[in-house]
Amino acid sequence: MFFKTYKLGIDAENDCTVLIVVVLFCMKMKNLNEKVVSEINRRLPKNANAVNYLMDLLYLGKESAYRRLKSQIPFTLEEVAAIANDLGFSLDKIIGSREGSRVFFDMKVDLTKSSSELYIDLLQGDIKIMKELNSAKDLKIISAINRIPLRFLPFQNLFKFVYFRYLHSKGDLSIAVKFSDVVVPNKINELYREAARSFSNLNNITCVTNHAVFSRIIKSVQYCYQTGIISIEDLRLLQKELFEMLAFIERLFTTGGNDLGANYSIYYSYSELETNCVCYEYDGTMTSQIWLFPESPIVIDDNRLIYQMQKNWLEARMKYATLVTKSNNLLQAKIIKELYDQTVNMEQEADFGINAL
């Protein structure tokens, strides 16, 4: 049990003080224990057994695992660290101070793994989150994007281009390595296809975007072509998929949904969007994500203050943007024509300035 019996000595006043400290400490430990148990129950798959999970992970007997889940005995710090690492939540969040006085976030960093291993971890994390969202009873997603999330869309060559740029950003490829020389590992391709399927099932998405979201990828491909990294044959493969993506975007504009019936509300902003961010709420859980780097978001879970701040910021952007899904046909036609003309003219030389990639 958390509370134990202590024999009082002659000095009753001091003994009472010690007893109060012990009781307060035990109450604090019980509170921490309950937070850990709450995270276990929230993050384990619905068909998983928490007792069996703790037995396997911590090498506990059945009775010991059961008593920890009932908060009859506390988890050790080492046990909490092992659970947090396995289930992917922040240890700081469990031990941290009051909400509002400090913000704890999660960001994947591992200097011991190769670039391909990190990308596998990234996709596996994406898939895990999207499975949770797809199984939610009540889901709301609000986002602002200045880059198209190509690792979630069914365009294989464009995904390869994203992976190619990722390897360059990690310093794994020299400038002499061509796009055609790179082979995406089978494991990454499999996870990419699974992530794209999971993303296509997400519903009730509100998104604020601007002119840069599509033209950014066009200019990036065009730049690589003009520097000789991409051949004319590969350029035309990518160009073909860009036209297919443009048709996909046009369908979202006109119908407000994809082929699987997922609903979208897309707002077009004339102002700059500094970074990609998303906040989603489902079944009592709130999460905020902010991308400082394309591959690794900062994640803040269950912080109502930060979630509301980000949501307010996104809703403010929506007020000064124009809804284009199932409305504003003239604006739809203008956006699609501009993007179509950019895609058609990709073989022509262009001045990229400092924002090519």
pTM above 0.75, yes or no: no
Q: Are 107 and 297 in contact (CB under 8 A)?
A: yes
Q: Is domain 12-94 annotated with CATH 1.10.260?
A: yes
Q: How far is CA 343 from CA 44, 149, 222, in A?
A: 45, 18, 9
Give the separation between CA 282 and CA 286, rounded to whole angstroms. 7
Buried-exposed string 299-331: b where 16+ CB fall within 10 A, e elsewhere: bbbbbeebbeebbeebeebbeebeebbbeeeee
Residue 75 DSSP label: P
Banded model confidence at residue 92, pLDDT cuts 50, 70, 90: low
Query: Tokens 């601007």 belong to which residue?
Result: 210
Phi and psi dihedrals of 265, rounded to 5? -125, 110
Each residue's pLDDT tens digit, 292-333? 776 778 888 777 888 888 899 999 999 989 999 998 899 999
Give the separation between CA 132 and CA 87, rounded to whole angstroms. 13
- Residue 336 host element (H or E): helix 329-344
Query: Tokens 């399927």 belong to which residue?
Result: 197
Spatial neighbors of 192 by CB under 8 A, at least 6 apart, are 123, 151, 159, 184
Provide the token pair at 8.
């009082």
pLDDT mean across residues, the chain = 82
Q: What is the mean pLDDT of residues 116-143?
A: 90
Give the separation between CA 281 and CA 287, rounded to whole angstroms. 7
Q: Are 204 and 139 in contact (CB under 8 A)?
A: yes
- Name the range with the highest mean pLDDT among 28-32, 240-244, 352-356: 240-244
Give the separation between CA 166 and CA 349, rounded to whole angstroms. 24
Res. 48: pLDDT tops 90: no
Locate the domains of the chain by residue range.
Answer: 12-94, 115-344
Residue 97 is predicted with a pLDDT of 45
Each residue's pLDDT tens digit, 198-225? 999 998 999 999 888 888 898 899 999 9
Residue 266 is predicted with a pLDDT of 94
Q: How far is CA 41 from CA 35, 90, 252, 340, in A?
A: 10, 15, 37, 49
Q: How far is CA 218 from CA 104, 107, 332, in A?
A: 36, 29, 19
Residue 232 is predicted with a pLDDT of 93
Lowest mean pLDDT among 20-24, 70-74, 340-344, 345-349: 20-24
More confident residue, 259 or 235: 235
